[in-house]
Amino acid sequence: MTRYPRDFRGHGPNPPDAAWPGGAKIAISLVLNYEEGGENNILHGDAGSEAFLSDIAGAQPWPGLRHWNMESLYDYGARAGFWRLHRLFTRRGIPVTIYGVATALARNPEQVAAMQEAGWEIASHGLKWVEHRDMPEADEAAAIAEAFRLHEEVTGAPPSGWYTGRCSMNTVRLTAETGRLAWISDTYDDDLPWWLKTGDHDQLVIPYTLEANDMRFATAPGYITGEQFFTYLKDSFDVLYAEGVAGHAKMFSIGLHNRLIGRPGKFAGLQKFLDYAQSHEGVWFPRRIDIADHWRRTHPPVAQERPSQMSRAAFVARFGGIYEHSPWIADQAWELELGPAHDSAVGLASALARAFRRASPEARLQVLRAHPDLAGKLAAAKRLTASSTSEQASAALDALTDAERATFQRLNTAYTARHGFPFIIAVRDNTRASILAAFEARLANDSETEFKTACTQVERIATLRLKDLLP
């Protein structure tokens, strides 16, 4: 038995209605990363200089040395870029979320004061702007705890949101396990928030972006001009806004960095995009905490069965009757590589069908033979399973006239004598008339064809039964 942790299903084919405040068609989350003073630097106790996300092409860390050019590019973000962006957003009345590296915030008190005066949300961007990939779990947990402490010391309040960015495989779990955060954002997997279950805690995840992000000015392939950035943001906006008009409102995250988008030529693209977005009706510019508060009110976490997390005994007890009188199918399906994608009706139906399909023809034949005749003697004696009783009643097979019952009995006898197993059809997909028509037509088929058809119908019946139990 193995369990696969990645969740490919997410909200599924029918995502929830975001129901943004005021009927907004789109929620644009502007995020300003504040990293200046928190990056790799021997002044900060690091082994060398920073090499990530700057205008230095092909930058490499300088072990044991300060890199003056790199430092001055980061300094530009604090000295000039931040204030240019601060004027832009405050003049337009657009609130933003700051991803604040705790040590950077501590070294930039005037900027922190300006953020607070503007009413911006200051979320945590970790203790330092460094790589966490190879960081031992205990060390990362300690860094998270210290980031909470320093953030509160500098800003006067603990962070309500978190984004590490240069994260490890443990980051999402470790931040969720603190139980102290209204939201976390170290994922890029959706256009809407979603709930992550961590133990007994429901953690809200607000996915972030690496593509609608000015970091692409410093990576390849990337943006060269502000116009390219504007075009990408506009195209993204147009698609999401149209979806919102059609009743499927989404969230649009935009990632910004003082030292990148704060440069005049790049800044022009952002300015142009805001002009464009603000020219539309129904555009909401929330902070991420505003999205979190709205989502918690509108779409609170809902407890649901998670088959992939059940014990073998619980799994078989719950789903052993999905295939008529054949619990061995559930037992074998439990051994497959189940994960979040199998916690839905369609997903679990796939797992059960795989167990059924891999069985020998003889074993599958026994499953077919475990099915009752339609409107047969077991139905008359009220000895069907609860599922079969409900299914046959859905097509009014429990309310036949004497003549109709005689017709079914004649067809049942002839079909079983010809093929060696009962006539099987997904009753809930049919009417009494279509069932009789199929009965007459399939009676004449060869047994190999009917065996395949019956197996397909058994799988369809299983899917319909699971849809009564799971999302």
Return the active site residues: 371
DSSP state of 373: P
Q: Is the C-alpha dihedral spanning 34, 40, 42, 44 positive or negative?
A: positive
Q: Give the residue among 391, 387, 362, 355 at the shortest CA–CA distance from 375.
A: 391
126: CB partners within 8 A, 6+ apart: 38, 101, 102, 132, 143, 144, 147, 162, 163, 164, 165
431: CB partners within 8 A, 6+ apart: 395
CA-to-CA distance for 251 and 191, rounded, in angstroms? 5
Cis, bond preceding 221 (omega within 30 deg of 0): yes
**DSSP reduced 3-state for 255:** strand
Kindly provide the b/e burial profile for residues 205-224, where b requires at least 16 CB atoms within 10 angstroms of the residue's own CB.
Answer: bbbbbeebbbbbbbeeeebe
Strands 194-198 and 201-205: antiparallel
Q: Is the C-alpha dihedral spanning 146, 152, 153, 155 positive or negative?
A: positive
**DSSP reduced 3-state for 213:** strand
Type of residue found at 133: R
Phi and psi at 271, nearest 5°, equal -60, -45
CA-to-CA distance for 202 and 221, rounded, in angstroms? 37
